Structure 1
Amino acid sequence: MGKVLCFGEILLRYSMGENFPQEQDLNSYIGGAESNVAMALAKWDIPVRYCTAMPDNFLSDKIISFYNEKGIDTSSIVKSGERIGSYYLNQGADVKNAGVIYDRNYSSFSDLTSSSLNWDEIFKDVTWFHFTAISPALNARVASICEEALIVASNKGITISLDLNFREKLWKYGSEPIAVMPKLAKYANVIMGNIWAADKMLGIRICTQVTDNATDAQLVEQGEISSKAILNQYPNCHTVANTFRFSEGQGVKYFTTLYQENHFYKSKTLYTMKTIDKVGTGDCFMAGLIYGITTKEQPQKILDFATRAAFQKLFLKGDSTNSKSEEIKKLIHQDE
């Protein structure tokens, strides 16, 4: 197989400890949804290239060296602009938490221009292109760049995956997601997200009976309805996955679904009473889908691997997983 290309903004995440600023325990992590996917795939021995933008300085050089050490191809990283974007989130909180603070305006990635990117060169030896709804949320220019990449990838016959990450605080440049995402989603072969993101970004409506108090059975049924609607609306799409993660007291309940080849699959429902870091679980799930599809696993095995990988990420500090594929498969066998 060729390489998986992940395109999106690198971010630095800053997390305050419980006693900040009395104790100046502000930790930093390398993140960004597409970076997290690339990190997971490299850990699982899938050839992967990461395309982003960073300023030309010593911090970027150290981060690029780190990516290279992890086995990620960094040849398509653009050196431009003045700064790496960042966000602030307390340790253990969800990135969708109302308390998240983004500091991404005028970052190297958000200031990218089409002239900085040679897509024919970037897509060399690439058979899979992954992007997320976070990039087109930054500004109209980046949304247009995403569309340019999708047109080139589609013309080259490259498999395209889309993660419908909805970040309400990012859509501030005058366009609603529903006005942008459908024209990008039409190129995707694999779409991952959840029923609420599909409603908000693609106009795939949720049934009225699916309320905040919906049962798991109702949510699973809606997952199948939404998946079929996406496949009907976007003929290029052959696989749809949904994640369902809910806080229950101090713990988390997690399950997922997959629709592929006219069959609908559900994962086991997993529970934990304690988590370490919720950031990056969806990215880990997306990486698991790519891993399972590219290694030609059966649909249920694809879903089980992606689900267990994402659930395991809840117990790992940082934005990306460091679990090996063998470790995840062992956990799946223990669950059986």
Structure 2
Amino acid sequence: MVTGKVLSFGELLLRICPDGEGQWLAENRLPFYVGGAELNVATALALWGVPSAYLTALPENFISEQLLGYLQDRQIDTTPIVMQGDRIGLYYLPKGKDLKNAGVIYDRAGSAYADLTPGTIDWDSVFAGVSWFHFSAICPALNQNVADVCAEALQEAAARNIFVSLDLNYRAKLWQYGKEPVQVMPTLAAACDLIMGNVWAANKMLGMPLQDELVAEVEKEKLLQHATLTSEAILKEFPKCKIVANTFRFDHGANGIRYFTTLYTQGELHVSQEYVVVHILDKVGSGDCFMAGLIYGFFHQNSPKTTLEFATAAAFKKLFIESDATTTTVAEIHETIKKYAH
């Protein structure tokens, strides 16, 4: 088993959820959730008993104090958090919508996290006792300074021989500072040991070739073929990377989905069992849960196949939970794997 903490780095966000019909105005009530892709990973890991720490930036005020208490209650180590600035990032997402959906509104400019600059984080104390560092492509999407902080973090992680994972989350609405993802992400990806995303994100963010004829129809065999091609292309382009994971999630019926994933390592493509369901609750955070599942598996030195099945079941279970982070236990995830095995 790996020793040391897993440190997740990203912006803590509050998700505000107005309903599409405007009922929130009549009721004077607005549901919200504590989120942020990397915090969702940290929350899942802490719930599953992995020592989990979180690095973000928050302003010094009573809301931040309450949030810190909330994270500590979930067994997340908050000591790395930088206290600075004036505001906490927000995003608005109508109920039932997907984050990739046009319905998302970001309110993150000028937040404590968005105002991070290189040279302000004490990496010696932040990385003390850390064996795994996780971040996502949402971080460098905010502005050049945060992208530079990510580069600084990766340099410091490399100097300490810390394992690094990257989630290629693509948020079109965030890349607004004059750089395309493909101008920023490959340099960061070069410092990573595990890269997770899908064939479309790898194309958009890392410039990996996309074979239109393999993705035109949602045909599983062709998609798996593409997963192999993309994974091999990433490993060739970024020699430090040894593991590539891909998720495939497609709408199925009115409110349902089809979901399966792949993990490529040591020249072999592992494919998860497939989940098909006619009704889901909340798509937000499912990919984060998959990422957390991968970290959980590798942290415990499980086989690639065991790791993949755990991560996939964890991500699938998240689709039935109304919040950004998962509440599913390890035992429930193992039950799900058995229940859907065929």
TM-score relative to the length of structure 1: 0.98
- Give yes or no for contact 2:13–2:90 (8 Å, CA) kept in 1: yes
Q: Which amino acid aligns with 1:139?
A: N
* Structure 2 residue matching 1:49: 3-state secondary structure: strand
* Structure 1 residue matching 2:26: 3-state secondary structure: coil
* Structure 2 residue matching 1:236: 3-state secondary structure: coil
CA RMSD between the two structures? 1.0
How many angstroms apart in 2 are the aligned matches of 1:76 and 1:180?
25
The CA deviation at 1:263 is: 1.0
Q: Do residues 156 (structure 1) and 173 (structure 2) align?
A: no
* Structure 1 residue matching 2:68: 3-state secondary structure: helix
State the partner residue of 2:150: 146
Q: Which amino acid aligns with 1:93?
A: K
- Give yes or no for contact 2:281–2:322 (8 Å, CA) kept in 1: yes
- Give yes or no for contact 2:313–2:336 (8 Å, CA) kept in 1: yes
State the partner residue of 2:53: 49
**2:116 is matched with which residue: 112, 128, 132?**
112
State the partner residue of 1:283: 288
How many angstroms apart in 1 are the aligned matches of 2:169 and 2:212?
23
Moved more, 106-115 or 130-139: 106-115
How many angstroms apart in 1 are the aligned matches of 2:109 and 2:129?
32
What is the total number of aligned residue pairs between the two structures? 336
State the partner residue of 1:302: 307
How many angstroms apart in 2 are the aligned matches of 1:288 and 1:253?
19
1:204-235 CA-partner distances (Å, limit 9, x unpaired): 11113034424121111101110011011110
The CA deviation at 1:274 is: 1.0
- Give yes or no for contact 2:215–2:222 (8 Å, CA) kept in 1: no
* Structure 1 residue matching 2:314: 3-state secondary structure: helix
1:244-294 CA-partner distances (Å, limit 9, x unpaired): 111122211111000012111111110111111110000000000000001
Structure 1 unaligned regions, length at least 5: none
How many angstroms apart in 2 are the aligned matches of 1:290 and 1:115?
28
Q: Which amino acid aligns with 2:142?
A: L
**1:240 is matched with which residue: 235, 239, 244?**
244
Runs of 4+ in 1 over 4 A off after TM superposition: none
1:22-41 map, 5 Å: 22-41=26-45
1:68-87 map, 5 Å: 68-87=72-91
Q: Do residues 328 (structure 1) and 333 (structure 2) align?
A: yes
The CA deviation at 1:335 is: 2.2
* Structure 1 residue matching 2:257: 3-state secondary structure: strand
Structure 2 unaligned regions, length at least 5: none
State the partner residue of 2:11: 9
What percentage of residue pairs aligned between the two structures are identical? 49
How many angstroms apart in 2 are the aligned matches of 1:181 and 1:276?
32
**1:121 is matched with which residue: 112, 125, 146?**
125
State the partner residue of 1:101: 105
